[in-house]
Amino acid sequence: MKAVLQRVVNASVAGKCYNSFDGKTISSIGKGLLVLVGIDRYDEPADATLIIKKILTAKLWDDDNGGGWKKNVKDIDGEVLCVSQFTLLASLKKGAKPDFHDSMASLRRDNSTIPSKAYYTSFLEEIKAAYDPSKIQDGEFGAMMQVSLCNDGPVTILLSSRDKPATKSGTPTPATSGINTPLPEAGQKKVKKPKDKGTGHPKFAAGADREAANPLGTAVDEVIDEGRREAGATNSGVNQEEANRE
105 contacts 89 by C-beta, under 8 angstroms: no
Q: Is 123 helix (H, G, I), strand (E, B) or coil?
A: helix
Rounded-to-integer distance, Cα 182 and Cα 175, Å: 15
- Count Cβ atoms within 10 A of the Cβ of residue 182 and give its class: 0-12 exposed, 13-18 middle, 19 or more buried: exposed
* Rounded Cα–Cα distance for residues 5 and 105 (Å): 23
Enumerate residues 6+ apart whose C-beta is below 8 A from 170.
44, 45, 46, 47, 49, 50
Nearest to 161 by CA among 113, 198, 123: 123
With both helix axes pointing from N to C terminus, report the angle between 115-130 and 45-57 in degrees, rounded to the nearest 10: 40
Omega into 154 within 30° of 0, i.e. cis? yes
**Which helix (H) or strand (E) is 37 found in, with range?**
strand 32-38
Residues designated as active site: 85-87
Instruction: List the one residue out of 88, 80, 83 whose CA is nearest residue 145.
Output: 83
Number of other CB atoms surrounding residue 91 within 10 Å: 12
Q: Which of 147, 163, 148, 157 is nearest to 73 (CA)?
A: 157
